[in-house]
Amino acid sequence: MPESQHFRHGLIVGKFAPLHAGHEALIRFALSRCERVSVWVYSRPDFPAMPSPVRRNWLREVFPAHLFPQLILLPDAPNPPLNNAPDAEHQQYVKTVLDAWNVRPDVVVTSEAYGPLLAERLNIAHLPFDPERRQTPISGTAIRADIHASRHFLNPLVYAHFVERVALVGAESTGKSTLTAVLAGDFGTHFVREYGREVYEREDGKLTPEHFLEIALSHRALEDEAARMPGLNRYLFVDTTAATTLMWSYLLCRTALPELHALADDARCRYSHTFLCADDLAHEQDGWRSNTEVRTVQQAFIMQDMATRGVRSHEVGGELTARIRQVRATLEAATLDGRGVQELPLTFLHKEAPP
C-alpha cells in the first residue's frame, strides 16, 4: 500500500483501557490519512474502574470536537461477544453492528495482528501503524498492571481519573496546611491549599453565606485543576473539604446556603482517604484564629459531621514527622489491599494496546 494513500473513512476499534500515548499516536496517524475517523470503544465485560462512557470522554477531552471535527465516537453496541470469544465471532459482530449503524468505513487502522482479518471480513483495506510498538513501547496490559508507574504514557486528562484525592481536615491550628504541603513534597506530587483563608483575609473576616459558597466552589475548582496538572504521582493532597466550610458558615453566619450543603454532602465520596489532624499541637495565634477552647469545639463539630455522614477517617497526631509516618503507613496499607485497575482477559480487538 503506498505510504501516501489516503482514505475516505477510517475505523479504529479498541478498549482504550486506559487511553494512552500509543492510542493517541494511532488516532493521529489515522486522522492524517483519512478524511474522517470513527472510533469504537469496545470491551465485554467492561472495566468497573473506567467504564466505556469514561473512556469515550477521555477521547473527547484529548481530541476535542472543535479541533478534531473529523473524529467520530461511536456509541456502545448491544450484546457484544465476551472478550475471550473466538476472533471470528468478534469480526462478524463488528460487521453486523456497522451494517446496522450504516457506518461504511473503507479502511481499518490498527497496530494489531488481527487487522488484516478484520479488514477482510469488512471487505475494506487495512492500514497498519507501528505494529512493533517502536514509537511508543507500551501496552494497555502493562499500564493496567501499574497505572502510576506508567503515568508518563498517560495524558494528564486521563491520569486524573486514577489520582486518589487525600483530604486533610481538622479545626484551626491543627497543622493541616503544613502537613498537606509537606506530604505533597514527600510523595512527589501536588497539593491544594485551603482557599477559605484567602477569602477570610480579603473580606477582613466579615463573611456572608454567599462567601462560604464561593469558598467551597473555588476550592473545588482548584482541586479539579490540580488533578489534571502534569507531575502528579498517585495522590493529590487537599487541605480542608466543603464539609468544614459548611461548619464555618454556621459558626460565623448561623446558616448556610443549600448549594453548600450539597457540596459538603458530595465530600463523602470525593476523597479516597480522609485524615483528621488531631488537636494535640500547641495552639498558634496568628491574629485571625480563635482560642484553644474554641478549637476544641470546632474539632468536635468536624468529628460529629464525619460520623453523621459516614466518612471513614484516620486520625493523625503528634509532631509533623510522626504524622507523615502515620499517613504514609495508612496509604501504603491501602495500596497493599489491592486497590487498582481490574485486569481482563485479552483477545482479538483487545490484545496489547493500542488499541
Statement to judge: residues 172 and 213 lie in one domain: yes
In-domain check, residue 152: no
Is the same domain home to 177 and 314? yes
Q: How far apart are CA 148 and CA 26, in angstroms?
A: 22
2 domain residue, yes or no: no
Domain of residue 309 covers 157-336
What pLDDT score does 289 carry? Answer: 55
Grid cell digits, residue 352: 496489547
More confident residue, 312 or 354: 312
d(CA 346, CA 147): 18
**Are residues 166 and 63 located together in one domain of the fold?**
no
How far apart, in whole angstroms, are the C-alpha atoms of residue 124 and residue 107?
A: 5
Between CA 42 and CA 14 the distance in angstroms is 5
Return the CA Rg of the chain.
25
**In terms of Cα–Cα distance, which of 215, 223, 292, 304 is closest to 252?**
215
Same domain, 32 and 164: no
pLDDT at position 251: 93
Asked, for residue 1, whether it belongs to a domain, the answer is no
Other C-beta atoms lying within 10 Å of the C-beta of residue 208:
14
Indicate if 48 and 179 belong to the same structural domain: no
pLDDT digits (tens, 9 = 90+) for 283-294: 665 555 566 788
Which CATH number covers residue 252? Answer: 3.40.50.300
Query: Looking at residues 144-153, what average pLDDT do you find?
Result: 95
Q: Which helix (H) or strand (E) holds 126?
A: strand 125-128
What's residue 2's pLDDT? Answer: 56
Residues 208 and 321 in one domain: yes
Asked if the structure places residue 37 within a domain, the reply is yes
Domain tally, the chain: 2
What was the pLDDT predicted at 139?
86
Is 24's pLDDT higher than 80?
Answer: yes
Task: Clarify whether residues 163 and 276 are in a common domain.
Answer: yes
- Which positions ≥6 away from 343 have C-beta within 8 Å? 141, 144, 145
Both 327 and 215 in one domain: the answer is yes
> Which CATH number do you get for residue 50?
3.40.50.620
CA distances from 103 to 52, 92, 96, 344 (A): 20, 15, 10, 28
Clarify whether residues 161 and 256 are in a common domain: yes
Task: Quote the pLDDT of residue 346.
Answer: 31
Task: Quote the pLDDT of residue 29.
Answer: 97
Type of residue at 5: Q
pLDDT of 103: 97
Cell readout for 61 is 477531552
Q: What number is the average pLDDT over the span 7-17?
A: 97
Q: Indicate if the alpha-carbon torsion angle 158, 313, 258, 299 is positive or negative.
A: negative
Q: What is the distance in angstroms between the CA of the first residue and the CA of the last residue of the chain?
A: 21
Residues 39 and 75 occupy one common structural domain: yes
Residues 59 and 192 in one domain: no
Could you tell me if residue 217 is inside a domain?
A: yes
Write the pLDDT tens digit of every residue in 64-97.
Answer: 999 999 999 999 999 999 999 999 999 999 999 9
Asked whether residue 261 carries a pLDDT value surpassing 60, the answer given is yes
224, HSE (Cβ side, Cα atoms, 13 Å): 6
The length of the chain in residues reads: 355
Share of the chain above pLDDT 70, in %: 91
Using 50, 70 and 90 to split pLDDT, how confident is the model at 14? very high
Mean pLDDT within 253-280? 97
Residue 22 lies in a domain: yes
Instruction: Tell me if 300 is assigned to some domain.
Output: yes
Q: How confident is the model at residue 342 (pLDDT cuts 50, 70, 90)?
A: very low
The helix (run of H) or strand (run of E) holding residue 7 is strand 7-14
115 and 258 share one domain:
no
53 with 79: CB under 8 angstroms? no
Summarize pLDDT for 169-211 with one digit per residue, the tens: 999 989 999 999 999 999 999 999 999 989 999 999 999 999 9
Q: Is the pLDDT of residue 339 over 80?
A: no
Q: Is residue 273 part of a domain?
A: yes
Q: Which of 71-85, 265-279, 335-349 is the least confident region?
A: 335-349
Task: Identify the pLDDT of residue 286.
Answer: 54
Return the residue matching grid coordinates 459531621: 305
pLDDT on residue 178:
96
